Structure formats: structure tokens, C-alpha cells
Amino acid sequence: MQHGWVAEKTQHENGSRAIDMYYYHKSKQYRSNLEVRKYVFKSLLKFEVDQETTEVKDEVISMTTS
């Protein structure tokens, strides 16, 4: 797991062999890899350079999923 993430495997209490995985990051619970991916990739940094001052700017862009 990446820094700051915790994975927990729990077996269903009804006696079945089914197992659920839960992922935690900063006190928030995610129930699937898909939820984790949405959290991780919801914002990406896009770097831009001001052509006049050559100053590097960063701008957050959002990804949308359909």
C-alpha cells in the first residue's frame, strides 16, 4: 500500500467464505479499488509556464467519470 493507506480484509460474519476489502486513507473508508482510483485520480496537477515571465504555475484540473 502507498504511504498513508491501510487495507483491511474482513470475512463475512454469516459463516460464508466471502471476504470484503476496505481501504482507509485520512480517516475515510473506501469499499473498492474503484472508489480508491476515483479518489486518487479526481484531481491531477497540470503545470503551465507563463511565457512572459517563465514562471511555472500549477493548475488543478478535474477528471470526470461517466
Sheet holding 28-30, edge to edge: 5-11, 19-25, 28-30
Task: List, for residues 24-59, the tens digit of each pLDDT value.
Answer: 998 899 999 888 888 877 755 556 677 777 776 655
Beta carbons of 56 and 40 less than 8 angstroms apart: no
CA–CA separation, 33 and 25 (whole Å): 13
- Name the residue type at position 51: Q
Kindly report the pTM of this predicted structure: 0.54
Q: Is 34:23 a contact under the CB 8 Å cutoff?
A: no
Instruction: Tell me the per-residue pLDDT of 6-31, one tens digit each, with 9 for 90 and over.
Output: 999 999 888 888 999 999 998 899 99
Domain boundaries, the chain: 5-62
